Amino acid sequence: MKSPILLYDGYCALCNFFVKLILRFNTKQNIYFAPLDSSIAKTIITNFRVDPSIDSVIYFDGKACFTYHSAVFEIIKSLSFPFRLFLVFKLLPNSINKRLYQLIAKKRYKLFGKYESCPIPDPKNRFRFLN
């Protein structure tokens, strides 16, 4: 299985924006993507005992799964400057980062919108999207 993989809500406009940002600024092009409702996501969630009710992006590095703000911080590590500056938020207590992440996740459709179907990736990046 290829890794690392970002499992994301394919219908969420904010999540899709985040995926596009990673595609552009992950210069190593080493992160793959799979919607949360894909078979590969279900396999990872089951095999690594991730609570399937978690409403979060899930970052699988090949050995472990990261959720909520931890997933975001793992992804930011792979991005170029200036995005790495956001790692300063790791200095905040985990409880604050988790609550902030969960608040945004809960309101994401209302704030950013929702697609009727999962957008089709650009042909030049299609190889990075897994099912």
Amino acid at 104: I
When divided into structural domains, the chain yields a total of: 1
Tokens of 82: 């200036």
What is Dmax (Cα atoms) for the chain?
40
Q: Give residue-wise pLDDT tens across range 99-131.
A: 999 999 999 999 999 988 877 788 888 999 998
Long-range CB pairs of 91-94 (<8 Å, 24+ gap) are 94/69
Reported pTM: 0.90
Note the pLDDT of residue 56: 83
Supply the range of the domain harboring residue 111.
5-128
CA dihedral of residues 101, 104, 105, 106 (deg, nearest 10): 120
Q: pLDDT of 19-67, one tens digit each?
A: 999 999 998 889 999 999 999 999 999 999 999 888 789 999 999 999 9
